[in-house]
Structure 1
Amino acid sequence: MTPQTPTGHTAPLIVDFFHDVVCGWCYVMSPRLRQVAAELDIAVRHRSFVLQDSRERIMEAFGTMEKAKTEILGHWEACAKQDDEQRIDIEGMRAESFEYPSGLAGALACQAAHIIGGDAAHWDYFDAVQNAHLSQHRNIGNPSVLLDIAVDLGFARDVFASRMNSEAADSRVQADRDEARKLGIRSIPTLIVGPDLDRLQTMPAPALKARLQAVMQNA
């Protein structure tokens, strides 16, 4: 039976979207999920999943920062082939001199947006940071860049900076990471859906819509 709200209306399906600002597959998936969520009246909750939270973790994963950038841009090539709008600028990022950033600063900034404006603000900010990273090849490991993006979206710079550097933002990031570990999530994007905690990953919008409709019908 589909759950009902106190007024008798059908409650929307809730999807938990685990993502990282530096994840190319998340960039591919986010607009598809936006489209399907609007069509099906689905509520999306945003969860931070930081692949590597520091330069040291990147070094552990790839050996050197140079190897990290080379291998990650190889992943970008696969993502670019699947991106519906061909937005990913691989050569632009390859030409940049800064080291490939970890996703932690971006996750904290996304949680700052969430504290200020909830899931909708989180999503808008997440998409803007991903665009800056994958399409504009900006250094989203730089807090000033993250604040510039926030201002472009209409946030007050000083308020956003305060939230981004707060214990509340850090706690939200850590809580999401703890939840991901509890669920055994190892790759992103991952969508956790419905009472059976179905797991969906990158797929075309029509397939995503069909899968979510099936969950809604069986809920």
Structure 2
Amino acid sequence: MKLEIWSDVVCPWCAIGRARLQVALAGFAHRDDVTLRWRSFELEPEAPRERSGGAEHLASKYGMSVEEARRMQERVAATAAQDGLEFRFDRARHGNTVDAHRLLHHAWETGGATVQDELKGRLLRASFTDGEPIGDPGALARIAVDAGLDDDGVRAVLGSDRYLDDVRADEDLARRLGITSVPFLVVDDRYGVAGAQPADALRQLLDTAWAERETPARS
């Protein structure tokens, strides 16, 4: 079974969605037959490498007061905590994510689904818990190597524009599929599900999709 998820590493609901999917997959009888691939989606492709003032930027983006933005962040952090995640928006140093996405393509090509998912998890934790500057090449290199990637290979990617075409191809496919928000999960090119769905709902989707794979087509 093929799972593809369009997401960004500065998207809090993408982190929550990944945690919920992990729970769903842990209880799925055919987990060993699932291939998970993370696809690129930049929420703000024109963002600078690093942006300070997370609540202030959120307020400006959505036309609310800074206090309202902080309360929104508190609600999201409370939801994340229910899924076992620690969100520290006060530490966040978000920024441009294209290099993070290029490294995720590198991880897929050199290490496969397991290494790519490990890097995805570390990038999300770097964004929402550790306060890493997610657009900084030095921080990205360290995170990628910690995830199991080769240091020389990582630095070669970051010092070039390698995989940029792959990032753009993912984003072009997202547009053709009508994906406008993330996370967005596609199962076996047949089912599309938007948002950080509850683990039980994801498990039901996996069961349904698997059952349809096992059911012979009627003539």
TM-score range, shorter chain: 0.7 to 0.9
Secondary structure of 1:146's match?
A: helix
Is this contact kept in 1: 2:182–2:194, CA < 8 A?
Answer: no
Partner of 1:7: none
- CA–CA separation in structure 2 for the residues paired with 1:115 and 1:163: 12
Matched, 1:170 2:164: yes
1:69-117 C-alpha deviation (Å, 9 max, x unpaired): 5568655434322221141012233xxxx6x312212112222222221
Q: How many residues align?
A: 197
Which residue matches 1:4? none
CA RMSD of aligned residues (A): 2.6
Deviation at 1:14, TM superposition (A): 1.2
1:81 aligns with 78
Amino acid at match of 2:25: A
Partner of 2:65: none
Identity of aligned residues (%): 25
Corresponding letter in the other structure for 1:80: A
SS in structure 2 of the partner of residue 91 of structure 1: coil
Aligned to 2:11: 23
Alignment gaps of 5+ in structure 2: 62-68, 214-219
* Deviates most, 81-90 or 195-204: 195-204
Q: 1:174 to 1:113 in 2, by over 3 A?
A: same
Equivalent residue for 1:6?
none
1:66 and 1:88 map into 2 onto residues whose CA distance is 14
Q: CA deviation at 1:28?
A: 0.6
Q: Deviations over 1:6-30 (max 9, x none)?
A: xxxxxxx211111111110111111
SS of alignment partner, residue 90 of structure 2: helix
Question: Following TM superposition, by how much is the alpha carbon of 1:65 offset from its aligned partner in structure 2, in angstroms?
Answer: 8.1
2: distance between equivalents of 1:65 and 1:80? 14
Separation (CA, whole Å) in 2 of partners of 1:55 and 1:78: 24
Residue type of the alignment partner of 1:28: I
2:23 partner letter? Q
Q: Residue 189 of structure 1 corresponds to which residue in structure 2? A: 183
Q: Name the CA distance, whole Å, in 1 between partners of 2:35 and 2:25.
A: 7
Which of 53, 57, 69 is equivalent to 1:68? 57
Correspondence for 2:151? 157
Counterpart of 2:106 in structure 1 is 112
Note the C-alpha offset of 1:206. Answer: 1.5
Task: Tell me the equivalent position of 1:44.
Answer: 36
Q: Which residue of 2 aligns with 1:208?
A: 202
Q: Residue type of the partner of 1:81?
A: A
1:179 is displaced (CA, Å) by 0.8
Kept in 1: contact 2:9–2:123 (CA 8 A): yes
1:103-161, Cα deviation, whole Å (9 max, x unpaired): 21211222222222122211111110111110011101101000011222232222111
Q: Give the stretch that moved more between structures: 41-50 or 159-168.
A: 159-168
1:24-81 Cα offsets, whole Å, 9 max, x none, are 011111122233234242221220111111227x99xxxx987425568655434322
Q: Secondary structure at the match of 1:109?
A: helix
CA distance in 1, matches of 2:57, 2:3: 31
**Residue in structure 2 matched with residue 122 of structure 1 by the alignment:** 116
Instruction: Give unpaired runs (5+ residues) of structure 1.
Output: 1-12
Q: CA deviation at 1:167?
A: 4.5
1:185 partner amino acid: I
Structure 2 length as normaliser, TM-score?
0.78
